[in-house]
Amino acid sequence: MGERQLLMIPGPTAVPQSILLAGARPMINHRGPEFKAALEACTEGLKRVFRTKDEIFILTASGTGGLEAAIVNFLSPGDHVLSVSIGVFGNRFASIASTYGAEVEKLDFEMGQAADPAKIKARLDADTGKEIKAVLVTHNETSTGVTNDLAAIGKVVREHGALLLVDGISSLVAIDFRMDEWGVDVMVAGSQKAFMVPPGLVFVAVSKRAAEAMKTAEMPRFYFDLQRARQYLEQGQTPWTPAVPQVLQLQAALQILEREGLDNCHARHARLAGAVRAGVKALGLKLLADESVASNAVTAVRVPEGVKVADLRGLMLDKYDVVLAGGQQSLKEKIFRIGHLGLVYETDIIACLGCLGLALKELGWDCDPGAGAAAAVQALRG
Amino acid sequence: MGERQLLMIPGPTAVPQSILLAGARPMINHRGPEFKAALEACTEGLKRVFRTKDEIFILTASGTGGLEAAIVNFLSPGDHVLSVSIGVFGNRFASIASTYGAEVEKLDFEMGQAADPAKIKARLDADTGKEIKAVLVTHNETSTGVTNDLAAIGKVVREHGALLLVDGISSLVAIDFRMDEWGVDVMVAGSQKAFMVPPGLVFVAVSKRAAEAMKTAEMPRFYFDLQRARQYLEQGQTPWTPAVPQVLQLQAALQILEREGLDNCHARHARLAGAVRAGVKALGLKLLADESVASNAVTAVRVPEGVKVADLRGLMLDKYDVVLAGGQQSLKEKIFRIGHLGLVYETDIIACLGCLGLALKELGWDCDPGAGAAAAVQALRG
């Protein structure tokens, strides 16, 4: 009927009504006291979520803008960069670095696999001349539903000494992350993922090592210049007019997250992701990723023989008002993805798997259509 | 009391309740049919506002991000650029070009003055070797409240053949603009000005000449790459996750503006701006700009002898809940600014000038405090 949708994509995610309305309050001066209070509260709240004592900047842009900021503020043209990629977003991070003149060496892993910290270590150990200035890595690869072992990767990069620049756009809040403890230098996260805030903001956390590198980095930057961002943040402002509604919404969201508690929030995502995987398997479908590395934010499912991704997504949308994501690039016809991050409850998972069973059956896939919902319920018993 | 403010700054501007709520609807898939319909409606609606038949791209960024897009997509490092600046935002546009390697020649006019098209013509006439690849100019200089004669500037630039790249962030909708007729190549406008939409989006219109230049422009770009934006727009999408609420709000705003009619909207801004200037003068204050070039979107007022800008703005905010803007950079202590663009009515102007009279009197300025409101009312009789 189209009046209500169950939004099960890996971002933008559903936004709680209270957060929607926090963005609908009358406009305020972005250089006035109310905005200053909101920006400072958000910055401090984000530090608790990122588990860092260092700097965090809130930029008005999509996640990709934050990735650009993570490159151009810390590197110079000609810098040798090791790009660890396990999918579309890892490749994008590498492309940004190339675009701005870095010499990018790729260390790719197959789509659906996680990066092997031992292979990263081997490459870094071989770099005895310390040519590699930075390692780029994706924490949670949204295109394949795989989470990298960032604690282990952090350890090997810290032994080498290169900067560790991380795309955490879809991982923060959904998946455990410890910036300072793991030795991450730059971490990027987006408002439209597990933060439950509409798209429009990206957060860039900067370690002391990275702040030092910023002083000499020569890639050109203006809009994404973090030194300007720092200068204005000291006055409780942003250099350019920010997406004011999203900042007010972030403040409201951080309060909700603090009430739930970050550990509880991670546990909720893990529990619901487990139910999704159990339900999908009970419908006879195969997961793209091995469960040992499967993401708690998004699940990539191989579309079964005889069913087309577009037909499945179309039927789910048109008949059941459930929005699923397709695959990207080489996985376009091979997988569909279920997002389960942010404002997600048991009800959503069970409902989604129930309708997935109905749709698959209707498209000719031989399954017990109720098996997915039933398995999800069983998994949720714990 | 702080529960309601009269926001009289040159952006972000007050947002109508219907537009606030258009942004508070549940989140949708940015790669789904509802978003496609909204993005396409916005793009077509913007073309009518810009008065162009050429391309327009909607980017998720502040206005400054749009200025960066206007530079990096059309120029190469080493290109000779003539920067016509009449204030802070003109200087910013030039800085962006320098940052990305353009060779910038500045043609500055005193703050409070408009650019002289004859001087631009003289410089371009002298460029017989056609070294100048582009002319940068601000349509409406928000820092000084001056509007440049863009029709005349367009004429001289077209005679020369350089690209004309224009910062129209605060002019569109408030002030007459005709992209195709005036021969403008790139025009940038922001959602948070007279469009009455919260900040978060910037619009970049591109002429056929500029589209041709884009093919060979070599400045590095990724997030702001308009060729990627074009490729996705053909599918009704944006390359990166957009600020979805602001796109839905823009669609609602464009419907409101179409009902009012663009000419009526410009006439309303002119009428209200005239009332502001009449009121300010009746309080014994001096305008920064000559009235022949004064902006219909924002008025810069010299702070009178013996009164401090910070005291005046503080009293207006604390006692009357009226938000005024200060001066920027060298004008910081010398002027205050009244924004009157977007959702502005006669009531706002009269109320603002009445409270301005009260505040000035309280701060020791010798005036008839009711004279400003009275003069505004008289001016509004027409």
CA pair distance B312, B8, nearest whole angstrom: 14
**Band of residue B176 on the pLDDT scale cut at 50, 70, 90:** very high
Residue of A242, A279, A339 lying closest to B31 (CA atoms): A339
State the average pLDDT over residues A335-357.
Answer: 98
Task: Give contacts of B60 with chain A, Cβ < 8 Å.
Answer: 60-62, 65, 199-200
> CB distance A26–B20 less than 8 Å?
yes
Q: Who among B61, B96, B221 is closest to A60 (CB)?
A: B61
Measured between alpha carbons, how far is residue A100 from residues A71, A87, A92, A189, B67 in Å? 8, 21, 13, 21, 19
| Amino acid at position A155, single letter | K
In this predicted model, what pLDDT tens digit does every residue of B280-292 receive, in sequence order?
A: 999 999 999 999 9
CA pair distance B154, B148, nearest whole angstrom: 11
Domains contained in chain A, CATH given? 22-258 (3.40.640.10), 261-381 (3.90.1150.10)
Structural element, H or E, at residue A361: helix A346-362
Residue indicated by tokens 């349509």: B139
CA pair distance A191, B180, nearest whole angstrom: 38
Task: Give contacts of A39 with chain B, Cβ < 8 Å.
Answer: none
In this predicted model, what pLDDT tens digit does every residue of B240-261 receive, in sequence order?
A: 999 999 999 999 999 999 999 9
> What values do phi and psi take at B38, rounded to 5?
-65, -45
User: Over pLDDT 70: what percentage of chain A?
Assistant: 99
In this predicted model, what pLDDT tens digit does every residue of B85-116 receive, in sequence order?
A: 999 999 999 999 999 999 999 999 999 999 99
Q: Who among B7, B25, B63 is closest to A27 (CB)?
A: B7
Whether residue B77 is preceded by a cis peptide bond, meaning omega within 30 degrees of 0, is no
What is the pLDDT at residue A1?
56
State the average pLDDT over residues B181-193.
Answer: 98
| Mean pLDDT computed over every residue of chain A | 97
Please give the structure tokens belonging to residue A282.
């009970």
What is the pLDDT at residue B3?
82
In this predicted model, what pLDDT tens digit does every residue of A118-128 receive, in sequence order?
A: 999 999 999 99
In this predicted model, what pLDDT tens digit does every residue of A157-216 receive, in sequence order?
A: 999 999 999 999 999 999 999 999 999 999 999 999 999 999 999 999 999 999 999 999
Residue B1 has pLDDT above 70, yes or no: no
State the average pLDDT over residues B317-331.
Answer: 97
In this predicted model, what pLDDT tens digit does every residue of A30-40 receive, in sequence order?
A: 999 999 999 99
Neighbours of B129 (CB within 10 A): 7
Compute the nearest-CA separation of A322 from chain B (Å). Answer: 11
Task: Give contacts of B244 with chain A, Cβ < 8 Å.
Answer: 12, 198-199
Q: What is the dihedral of CA B258, B262, B267, B268, to 10 degrees?
A: 40
CA pair distance B192, B10, nearest whole angstrom: 9
Residue of A195, A194, A199, A72 lying closest to A136 (CA atoms): A72
Tell which A residues from 211 to 250 touch B, by Cβ distance under 8 Å: 219-224, 239-246
- 3-state SS class at A380: helix
A196, A241, A248: best to mutate for the B interface, most B CBs within 10 A: A241
What is the pLDDT at residue A382?
74
Is there a contact between A142 and A170 (Cβ–Cβ < 8 Å)? Answer: yes
Compute the nearest-CA separation of B325 from chain A (Å). Answer: 9
- 3-state SS class at A365: coil
In this predicted model, what pLDDT tens digit does every residue of A239-287 receive, in sequence order?
A: 999 999 999 999 999 999 999 999 999 999 999 999 999 999 999 999 9
Residue indicated by tokens 């319920």: A377
CA pair distance B115, A209, nearest whole angstrom: 46
Residue A52 has pLDDT above 60, yes or no: yes
In this predicted model, what pLDDT tens digit does every residue of B7-62 receive, in sequence order?
A: 999 999 999 999 999 999 999 999 999 999 999 999 999 999 999 999 999 999 99
What is the pLDDT at residue A3?
82
Residue of A230, A195, A238 lying closest to A210 (CA atoms): A230
Q: Dihedral sign for Cα A362, A364, A370, A372, please.
A: negative
Neighbours of A306 (CB within 10 A): 9
Helix then strand then coil, in percent of chain A rounded to 5, is 45, 20, 40
Burial A223-254 (b: 16+ CB within 10 A, else e): bbbbebbeebbeebbbbbbbbbbbbbbbbbbb
In this predicted model, what pLDDT tens digit does every residue of B215-225 receive, in sequence order?
A: 999 999 999 99
Q: How far is residue B379 CA from its own chain's centroid?
A: 25
Structural element, H or E, at residue A104: strand A103-108
B62, B142, B337: best to mutate for the A interface, most A CBs within 10 A: B62
Helices within A161-293 (DSSP H only):
179-182, 208-214, 226-233, 244-260, 262-282
Q: Which residue of A has its CA nearest to B16?
A: A26
Kindly give, in sequence order, each residue whose CB lies less than 8 Å from that of residue B94, ignoring residues fewer than 6 positions away: B81, B83, B85, B104, B106, B136
Is there a contact between A43 and A230 (Cβ–Cβ < 8 Å)? Answer: no
What is the pLDDT at residue A149?
98
Structural element, H or E, at residue A82: strand A80-85
Residue of A337, A313, A292, A288 lying closest to A142 (CA atoms): A337
Put simply, whether A13 touches B (Cβ < 8 Å) is yes
- Encode chain B in three state secondary structure: CCCCCEEECCCCCCCCHHHHHHCCCCCCCCCCHHHHHHHHHHHHHHHHHHCCCCEEEEEECCHHHHHHHHHHCCCCCCCEEEEEECCHHHHHHHHHHHHCCCEEEEEECCCCCCCCHHHHHHHHHHCCCCCEEEEEEECEECCCCEECCHHHHHHHHHHHCCEEEEECCCCCCCCCCCHHHHCCCEEEEECCCCCCCCCCEEEEEECHHHHHHHCCCCCCCCCCCHHHHHHHHCCCCCCCCCCHHHHHHHHHHHHHHHHHCHHHHHHHHHHHHHHHHHHHHHCCCEECCCCCCECCCEEEEECCCCCCHHHHHHHHHHHHCEEEEECCHHHCCCEEEEECCCCCCHHHHHHHHHHHHHHHHHCCCCCCCCHHHHHHHHHHHC
Task: Give contacts of B26 with chain A, Cβ < 8 Å.
Answer: 4-5, 7, 14-15, 20
Residue B382 has pLDDT above 90, yes or no: no
Task: Give contacts of A19 with chain B, Cβ < 8 Å.
Answer: none
* Partners of B202 in beta bridges: B59, B190
CA pair distance B258, B48, nearest whole angstrom: 9
* Partners of B204 in beta bridges: B57, B188
